[in-house]
Chain A
Amino acid sequence: MLRFDHVCKRYPDAGDALMDVSFHLGYGEMAFLTGHSGAGKSTLLKLIAVIERCTRGQLFFDGQNLNRAGERQIPFIRRKLGLIFQDYKLLNDRTIFDNVALPLIVAGYSPQEIPRRVRAALDKVGLLGQEKKFPLLLSGGEQQRVGIARAVVHKPAMILADEPTGNLDPELSLEIMRLFEQFKQVGVTVLIASHDIDLITQMGYRTLRLDHGRLAAD
């Protein structure tokens, strides 16, 4: 699913963020990405979502060399991904339904199919019946679950989560992680960046640890 081959990323003003990172993630595998802040976790995820491009090395996603992907191909790569953010990145002036429907509308799903899929996704995260509410009326944990519903509504091949539990208390965090576990069980590849070591050890999955841009442990 995902292969990093001696990947380096250097920002012009901030220096090296990733140095010689190589690993492979199989289809349907779930893994954690950890390390101190500034270790390069977010940069690594951005490279997969083609928000940034690597300066050296090769990066393969679903058999496609991301280095060679042109501007026009980027939207179609991102449609295979479900992105989840620490700050949820919801549109606060839109209803929950509209927020979750966005990836479907963007990908040109038919108007008949959209409500069905949105409800299925909301059902999976336990928010069915809240479609008409606005995000700010929900608690942090609920907002993150809306974010997860949005990330999985179009059935992506891989979920990328950047500190998804960063703003949540331990109990809610575990709940969210169990949710990711469920997606893994239906064959979705999951990569979660987190610095919550306790939670990661509790889950017991493969862990990639970054240290100052280098892969320190796998």
Chain B
Amino acid sequence: MKTTSQQRNRQEHRKARRFDRGIAVKLLAYLDSHGQAFFSSLGRLLRMPFTSLMAIAVLAIAIALAGGFYIIVANMQQLTGSLESSNQISLFLKSNVSQQQGRTLADKLAARADIRRVKLISKQQALEEFKKYSGFGDALKALQQNPLPHVIQVLPENILFETPEIKQLLEELQQLPEVDFAQMDMQWVKRLQAIMQLARRGVMLLSFLLGLAVLFITGNTIRLELQSRRDEVVIAKLVGATHAFIQRPFLYSGFWYGFFAGVIAWLVVLCMVLLLEQPVERIASLYDGYFQVLFFGVGETLLLLLISAVLGVLGAWLVLNYQLRQLQPQ
């Protein structure tokens, strides 16, 4: 009795082990088929370098356009980012107000609780600065008198946000008898930010369209590849290949197209940045600014390659899903 149950146990155990080995073999064969598709699609790409290079170049241009615009906007954003904190008010004093009167007013304002800091820029200082940085030095010498007013820069206590209190402060300062015109710098920063937002939205839209282009270009390339391997597909179907098996190498082809296009696009944008770096830095120095041209970081580079590869696979998948059904043995 005991021995038979033991025997049965052993038998079941053996059966289970055989089953496990069966699964392991199937899994191994499955992975092998993936590996084969992975490398054979790469091999096919390299074996016809001209055709694949043409397709990859077109894809790379589309991706580089999107990536390039992204970099431009990122750089402009860096520019406005440094301005974000400035919420200061400039008071342009009336031309008949003397520097002494201006100083008195500045001291009076500095004593207020809702004002953090005050700085007086006299008309002489302003002119010197203007001569130095604008490049109009010689032209300004021709002027009989200084056309610039004294300016008081007021930094409110609350510098980050535009609150009703700041608006009220602005109106109050505007009412001062010495003040000709009060301007909140925040306003143009805001406008700039609004423009940047528009630019960002624009880049997003453009990237979306270029992404669609990548999708369709890969799709078409894969369609041509499928046409040239028609016989192979039909015969594979006749000997019992599943849909997944047949489309696998083509999906990997799409992957390689997208991936290589991403790499080339990255290089193209790098060249663009290197070419533009010097002139941009010259402009920055002329405006007395420090500006470091931004390029893709590691994360952004990986994201670029990932998106390119995914678009390649997706483009291939869209076409295969339709075309493989059409391609039936006769």
Q: Which residues of A contact B (CB under 8 A)?
A: 49, 51, 72, 75-79, 81, 83, 89, 91, 102-103, 105-111, 150, 154
Contact = CB atoms under 8 A, between A and B. Distances in A.
A106 B37 CA distance: 12
A136 B33 CA distance: 27
Given A79-B240, A110-B25, A89 B235 contact: yes
Contacts of B240: 75-79, 81, 103, 106-107
B239 A111 contact: no
B29 A111 contact: yes
A57 B249 CA distance: 39
14 contacts: A51-B328, A72-B242, A72-B243, A75-B242, A76-B240, A78-B239, A83-B238, A89-B235, A105-B33, A106-B239, A106-B240, A108-B33, A110-B29, A154-B239
A91 B240 CA distance: 16
Interface residues of B, number: 23
Q: What are the 3 closest A-B residue pairs judged by CB atoms, nearest first? A: A79-B240, A78-B240, A103-B239
Given A91-B232, A102-B236, A106-B236, A75 B29 contact: no
Interface string B19-60: 000000110111011000000000000000000000000000
Contacts of B236: 102, 106
Given A109-B29, A111-B32, A78 B231 contact: no
B25 A51 contact: no
A81 B236 CA distance: 13
B69 interface: no
A136 to B, nearest CB: 14
A107 B245 CA distance: 9
Contacts of B79: none
A110 B235 contact: no
Interface in B203-259: 231-232, 234-243, 245
B30 A150 contact: no
Contacts of B239: 78-79, 83, 102-103, 106, 150, 154
A148 to B, nearest CB: 13
B329 interface: yes
B228 to A, nearest CB: 11
A193 to B, nearest CB: 16
Nearest to A102: B239
Contacts of A110: 25, 28-29, 32
Contacts of B243: 72, 75
A75 B32 contact: no
A172 B231 CA distance: 27
Contacts of A51: 238, 328-330
A111 B25 CA distance: 9
Contact of B241 (A75, A77, A83, A154): A75
A102 B329 CA distance: 16
A108 B26 contact: yes
Contacts of B26: 108
A144 B259 CA distance: 42
A111 B237 CA distance: 21
Given A51-B328, A106-B245, A78 B238 contact: yes
Nearest to B28: A110
Given A107-B240, A108-B26, A108-B33, A91 B245 contact: no
